[in-house]
Homo-oligomer: A and B are copies of this chain.
Amino acid sequence: MTQSESQMKREILEIPEAVERLLSLGGANIVQAADDVRAIDPPFLMSVARGSSDHACTYLKYASELLLQRPMASVGPSVQSIYGVNLRCDRSVCVSVSQSGQSPDIVQMTRSLAEAGSYAVAITNNDESRLAKVSNATLPIHAGPELSVAATKTFVTSIIAGLWFLAEWKHDEALKAALFSLPEFLSQATSCDWGTAAGAMDGRPLYTLGRGPSWAISNEAALKFKETCLIQAESYSSAEVMHGPVSIVEQGFPVLIFAGADAAETSVAGVADELAAKGAQVFATTSLVKQANVLPHVRTGHWLTDPIAAIVSFYGMVDQVAANRGINPDVPRHLNKVTETV
């Protein structure tokens, strides 16, 4: 009997093509938004999102801080939708990420910030959505229809649209070139075999770790384990994990660690080895580890895009873990595609 391919798996395999489409079609909106924002010269940025989209924002937070030296605050939609507060935010930029662009709390928070003087940038798969309508600029992610409940190609394209916007803002030609070379690398990433790691993720609770932009990827991986495999994975910064959470690490505890070729790689590899020495089963996307297991990983030629290749390889694995556990990742328990929160 052949295992039928999941919708999620099909969409994972579509990622390189979706990114190609974004790179072909997305330029005009991104250049315009970057020009506008450069003129504002905002001292800080804000992000508004939930779920996978919020992990994309965490990635963009590190990119904003590391590339443009501008802090980005993640603002909870409840500040407006529940507590009724309009934040003071004149001369700031607000980045709102939502595949559907329809969740009431995301729309309401973005509208409040735009009315208070923030330049609102919507990153969405629906440029006719309510979110697009309340924003100053819309960056469509051109992902095409995403039918699987678990976001994969929209997560990747949301990050790339946001990174491209920041690269245009900074006139960072190296990052732009790296983004334009991504489809080929992401295609390679879909072929990385994480089967050994998949075998170790057998249902026990586990940790995913990363640092900087790779921590955002770790957040996304932990969510995917929960929603598609019913495994309680929890994400930590590889620094933060040593401030308490390390206590629960026991013999055989599975740990999945994301690291790109950036300034954090050595330190992250050190934590991987430290956890392996405590008896954990550690798998890491870096060759710098000595005791932990090295996962096959693609290097993209730019430290800020490496984690994107890693999440694509991860998606393939998490689909496999779900299959190993006899779970259909396309129908996560208790979930719908669009979660409308107030």
- Asked if A211 is at the interface (CB within 8 A of a chain B CB), the reply is yes
Contact present for B89 and A334 (CB under 8 Å): no
Contact present for A248 and B226 (CB under 8 Å): yes
Contact present for B65 and A79 (CB under 8 Å): yes
Copies assembled = 2
Contact present for A335 and B66 (CB under 8 Å): no
Q: A51-B240, A332-B247 given as contacts; is B76 within 8 A of A73 (CB)?
A: no
Closest Cβ of chain B: how far from A239's Cβ, in Å? Answer: 5
A 50-74 contacts with B by CB, 8 A: 50-52, 54, 62, 65-66, 69-74
Contact present for A242 and B84 (CB under 8 Å): no
Q: How far is the CA of A237 from the CA of B341 in the complex (A)?
A: 12
Closest Cβ of chain B: how far from A340's Cβ, in Å? Answer: 9
Q: How far is the CA of A333 from the CA of B278 in the complex (A)?
A: 11
- Asked if A198 is at the interface (CB within 8 A of a chain B CB), the reply is no
- Residues of B close to A250: CB separation below 8 A: 230
Contact present for B212 and A334 (CB under 8 Å): no
**Contacting residue for A65 out of B85, B90, B242, B342, CB 8 A:** B85
- Asked if A223 is at the interface (CB within 8 A of a chain B CB), the reply is yes
Q: A43-B43, A44-B44, A65-B75 given as contacts; is B247 within 8 A of A335 (CB)?
A: yes
Pick the most buried of A50, A72, A82, A278: most chain B CB atoms within 10 A of its CB.
A82
- Asked if A245 is at the interface (CB within 8 A of a chain B CB), the reply is yes
**Contacting residue for A227 out of B76, B240, B245, B264, CB 8 A:** B245
Contact present for A264 and B43 (CB under 8 Å): no
- Asked if A294 is at the interface (CB within 8 A of a chain B CB), the reply is no
A 230-269 contacts with B by CB, 8 A: 230-232, 234, 237, 239-240, 242-250, 262-264, 267
A 188-229 contacts with B by CB, 8 A: 205, 211-212, 223, 226-228
- Asked if A20 is at the interface (CB within 8 A of a chain B CB), the reply is no
Q: A82-B211, A232-B234 given as contacts; is B247 within 8 A of A88 (CB)?
A: no
- Asked if A87 is at the interface (CB within 8 A of a chain B CB), the reply is yes
Residue of B nearest to A239 (CB): B341
Contact present for B71 and A83 (CB under 8 Å): no
Q: A43-B92, A44-B73, A234-B234 given as contacts; is B264 within 8 A of A245 (CB)?
A: no
Closest Cβ of chain B: how far from A64's Cβ, in Å? Answer: 10
List 4 tightest A-B contacts by C-beta distance, closest first. A73-B73, A51-B243, A227-B244, A71-B73
Q: Can you list 11 A-B contacts with CB-CB less than 8 angstroms, sorted by A residue number?
A: A43-B43, A43-B89, A65-B79, A66-B85, A150-B244, A205-B205, A230-B247, A234-B234, A242-B339, A246-B333, A249-B334
